[in-house]
Structure 1
Amino acid sequence: METAPVPAFSELISGTQRSAVHLEMRDVYDPGSRRFASWRSGHRENPANRDEWWNPFHSVIAEAVARGVQVRRARVVSEPVSDYVQFEYDVTFSNIAAGEQVRWLPRRRASDLALPGNDFWVFDGRLVRLSHFGGNGEFVQDEMTENPAVVKLCVEAFERVWERAVDHHDYRPA
């Protein structure tokens, strides 16, 4: 696959005009993160205390949404969910507060879907950022492509997942 250099996420989203979609398909990400460790030790973030959890990522998303960009995130998850997915579920209020729409699809309901091998973002239906992770959930690298076949696969896969997925407010992790 022909790839381009990978700009910072903030640069990609700031250049987005209409839509940014993100498909997550792993059951663990960055298991060594401080936020996850704090959650595992029993701390629960207070949605009313924005100073506790708001970070630059949320600001970038909020700015894009304010410009009219629709930001959607879908998560394909195994059930029963992993501790990490339960943590993601518990902190998703922060994504929603920034303006994202979030849905969840139990993996058993995705068996007949053709999905790319990696998580991805698609910006304005034309540019894909693929994310590679190690088996332990640690981030390895991102890859960018405008290859029409890859873009089409990712856009179609996201839309199929989105159609089946359950809105965050209605989903209850099993």
Structure 2
Amino acid sequence: MSTWYCTTIRQATAAGKTVGRVRLLDDPPTDGQRYLLCNAERNAALGEDIRALSRSEAERLHLGDEDFWIFDSRLVARLLFTEADELTGVELITEPAQVVRYSRLRDAAWHHAAPH
């Protein structure tokens, strides 16, 4: 597949960059989570490291429920959703202490998550 995302991830990982995510899953997974899991095999073939962690385990570990991306260890994009799980915007965070806080959450989730 040759979408913008696929091309970008393939080029980034070929250049030696790391692309990974931890996906929190409900029990049972929602329709949206099942859809995203179907894409995990394709994304893994592009070089992305995808892991899964149950939402209940994330809650037990006090990891919160924020959905965010970290870029180059200096920019956090926190995704904002409605109660109906509709994306409404993105908050960009560059304040170093906050970036470190999100990095610690990511690292803890990564440690406990299972590879796809």
2:40 maps to which residue? Answer: 92
1:27 maps to which residue? Answer: none
2:5 maps to which residue? Answer: 57
Determine whether 1:145 maps to 2:60: no
1:71 maps to which residue? Answer: 19
Determine whether 1:105 maps to 2:57: no
For these two proteins, the number of residue pairs brought into alignment is: 116
More strand by share: 2
Q: Is the 8 A contact 1:122 1:128 kept in 2?
A: yes
Letter in 2 for 1:55: T
TM-score (norm 1): 0.62
Of all paired residues, the percent bearing the same amino acid is: 31
Letter in 2 for 1:120: F
Distance 2:96 2:7 in 1: 30
CA deviation profile, 1:57-99 (whole Å, cap 9, x unmatched): 1111111111111001101111111122112112211211221
Letter in 1 for 2:38: D
1:98-137 superposed matches below 5 A: 98-137=46-85
1:114 offset after TM fit, Å? 3.5
TM-score (norm 2): 0.89
Distance 1:135 1:113 in 2: 23
Q: Which runs of 4+ in 1 moved over 6 A?
A: none
More helix by share: 2
Q: Which runs of 5+ in 1 are unaligned?
A: 1-49, 169-174
Higher relative contact order (Cα pairs below 8 Å, separated by 6+ residues):
1
1:5 maps to which residue? Answer: none
Distance 1:62 1:72 in 2: 12
1:113 offset after TM fit, Å? 2.8
CA RMSD of aligned residues (A): 1.5
Distance 2:96 2:65 in 1: 17
